[in-house]
Structures are given as C-alpha cells and as structure tokens.
Chains A and B, each alone.
Chain A
Amino acid sequence: MLSKCALEKEIARISFTMDELRLFLDTHPCEKEALSAYSVMRKKREKLLESYESLYGPMEAYRAGGSEKWNWIAQPWPWEREV
C-alpha cells in the first residue's frame, strides 16, 4: 500500500503522461504505440484514483459524495501548504 504522498505522486505522474500523450495524439491520431500507452495509463489511473479516493476523499467533484456528510469540501485544497 502506497502512502498518501506516494499515491499523489503516482497519480500526478500518470496524469501528466496522459496529458503529454493526449497532445501528441491530437496531432498524430493514428500512432498505435501512443494509443496503447494512453489506454494502459487510463486503466492505471482509474485504479489509483479509486484507491486514493477510498482513503482520502474525492479528487474530482463528479466523484464526490458521502453518506453522512458531503466529502468534497473537507480535505485540503491543492494550493494549501500542508505541514
């Protein structure tokens, strides 16, 4: 099990890889290697988000919820300096 910090780093890493691949695919829409890399990353990202969110709350508003209390506004915002 990854720590919170390690999970965040891994989500940032995979998401940035997808950001970079997305731009490349926008101008090279038939590149097989990039297409399959995007698909691998998408699955990895989905799994990582699920484990992150089950422990630390939602990362994206459409995925927020809570049975007793709305969990979207409880966790720190990303610009806060965490100590």
Chain B
Amino acid sequence: MWSYEKRLQYPVKIKRPDARAAKIIISQFGGPDGELAASQRYLSQRYAMPWRDVAGILTDIGTEELSHMEMICAIVHQLTKDLTVDQIKAQGFEPYFVDHTLGLWPQAASGTPFSATVFQSKGDAITDLHEDMAAEQKARTTYDNIIRLVDDPDILDPIRFLRQREIVHFQRFGETLENVKRDMGSRNFYGYNPAFDKKFRK
C-alpha cells in the first residue's frame, strides 16, 4: 500500500520557461531509461525475489523512483507552464502541444510513447539485479547528456541531484548482488534460478 506525501524529494524551482529543455527532459519521464520505467521495473521485480532484504531494496528504490518521476514532471511542468503560442512555435514544441497541450504525458524525447518493453522482470535474482545495475548507469548517462544540453542553473540543480541518486542506487544494487551471490554460496550461481529452482537453495 502506498500513501502520498505532498512534497518533492528535492526542490524544483524553475523561473524561465524553456520548451526545448522540456522536450529533452521529458525523456526521463517516459523514455527508455526514465523514472517511470525504473519504478515499474523494481516494483514488478520484487514479488519473485526469494530474499526479504532484496524485496526491501527493490521496494525502497522503486518507491524513490516514483518520487523522481514526480520531480521530472515538476521540471517539465515548470518549463512549459507559461509558454505563449509564439514561444511554442519558435521553440519547436508544436508536435507535443498539438496532442497534449501542456499536459504531462510519458514519452521519450523522440516522441516514442512509454513502453514496458524498455525493462525486464525476468523472475531471476541474478538476471534482474544485473538489469537494475545497468538501468541505473543508463539513467546516469541520460542525466549526463541532459547536463550537456542545458545551461539554466535552476534546471541543472535538481538534475544533478537525480544523477547522484542513480549512482547511489547502482551502488546499493551492486551490494545486493554481492549479498545474493554470497547467500547462494560456492555453487555455480549461473547453474540455477534461486527464485524458481527452490530445491537448490540453502
């Protein structure tokens, strides 16, 4: 069960509308390495995890990703809120505007709609934790690219925070993977799936 807290994890206060930046940053809402995909990846994977502590880290990081999705949406919202039609035209925002006006819709920067095909829930602890570590690095690279493309300090501040969180999550997933390997002992952990082949578990 979830309950909502009426606050952002880290503040978003953007003074200057900028449709070009919004078009790029919306990728971290509905794009292939975005926060929506991250949250659904971890929150889907946790059910088949045979270890309570692993289900715990997936629950807690998955929950934090929901708050990051909210921060990204807050950034895109503040970047587009006061745009005039002239600015929308001048900044190339018409293709988004015609379908969604200034509403938030999960898509990649390219316009590709959000899809669950960008993530896996494989039902195998080793496979899923490797996927999760890769996902954190992919999101970190995306934030690096956003930082290269944007120069407003009001945007960069929360984006840098989000980038840092990818690194922390990568670290925690790496430790989790090591714990899982240790629990599986000296047997070849590529030889079976601890979530399915229960007879092999310690």
Contact = CB atoms under 8 A, between A and B. Distances in A.
Interface residues of A, number: 11
Contact of A73 (B1, B47, B52): B52
B185 interface: no
Interface string A45-83: 000000000000000110000000000111111110000
Interface in A25-51: none
Chain B interface main SS type: helix
Contacts of B56: 72-73, 77
Given A75-B52, A77-B55, 15 more contacts: A60-B3, A61-B60, A61-B63, A73-B52, A73-B53, A73-B55, A73-B56, A74-B52, A76-B52, A77-B46, A77-B52, A77-B56, A77-B59, A78-B1, A79-B47
| Interface majority SS (helix, strand, loop, mixed), chain A | loop
Contacts of A74: 52
Contacts of B59: 77
A10 to B, nearest CB: 15
Nearest to B53: A73
Contacts of A60: 3
B18 to A, nearest CB: 33
A77 to B, nearest CB: 5
B6 to A, nearest CB: 13
Nearest to A77: B55
A75 B56 CA distance: 10
A41 to B, nearest CB: 14
A79 B56 CA distance: 12
Nearest to A73: B56
Contacts of A76: 52
A61 B63 CA distance: 10
A39 B163 CA distance: 40
Contacts of B46: 77
Nearest to B52: A73
Contacts of B53: 73
19 contacts: A15-B1, A60-B3, A61-B60, A61-B63, A72-B56, A73-B52, A73-B53, A73-B55, A73-B56, A74-B52, A75-B52, A76-B52, A77-B46, A77-B52, A77-B55, A77-B56, A77-B59, A78-B1, A79-B47
